[in-house]
A and B are shown apart, each in its own frame.
Chain A
Amino acid sequence: DAGVIQSPRHEVTEMGQEVTLRCKPISGHNSLFWYRQTMMRGLELLIYFNNNVPIDDSGMPEDRFSAKMPNASFSTLKIQPSEPRDSAVYFCASRSDGAYGELFFGEGSRLTVL
Chain B
Amino acid sequence: AQSVTQLDSHVSVSEGTPVLLRCNYSSSYSPSLFWYVQHPNKGLQLLLKYTSAATLVKGINGFEAEFKKSETSFHLTKPSAHMSDAAEYFCVVSDGKTSYDKVIFGPGTSLSVIP
Contacts and interface: CB of A to CB of B under 8 A. Distances in A.
Interface of A: 30-31, 33, 35, 42-43, 45, 48, 50, 55-56, 91, 93, 95, 97, 100-108
Main secondary structure, interface of A, reads strand
B99 A97 contact: yes
A101 B104 contact: no
Given A100-B51, A102-B34, A105-B44, A43 B100 contact: no
Please name the 5 residue pairs, one residue from A and one from B, whose CB atoms are nearest each other, closest first.
A101-B94, A97-B99, A100-B51, A105-B43, A105-B44
Interface string B30-61: 00101010000011111001010000000000
Given A31-B99, A43-B90, A100 B49 contact: yes
Contacts of B34: 101-103
Contacts of B107: 42
A50 B44 contact: no
Interface centre among A42, A43, A107 (most CB of B within 10 A): A43
A107 B42 CA distance: 6
A45 B43 contact: no
A42 B43 contact: no
A100 B104 contact: no
Given A33-B103, A43-B105, 7 more contacts: A42-B108, A101-B34, A101-B94, A103-B34, A103-B44, A105-B45, A107-B43
26 contacts: A33-B103, A35-B105, A45-B102, A45-B105, A50-B100, A55-B100, A93-B44, A95-B103, A100-B32, A100-B49, A100-B51, A100-B94, A101-B34, A101-B94, A101-B101, A102-B32, A102-B46, A103-B36, A103-B46, A103-B103, A104-B46, A105-B36, A105-B43, A105-B45, A106-B43, A108-B43
B60 to A, nearest CB: 13
Contacts of B36: 103, 105
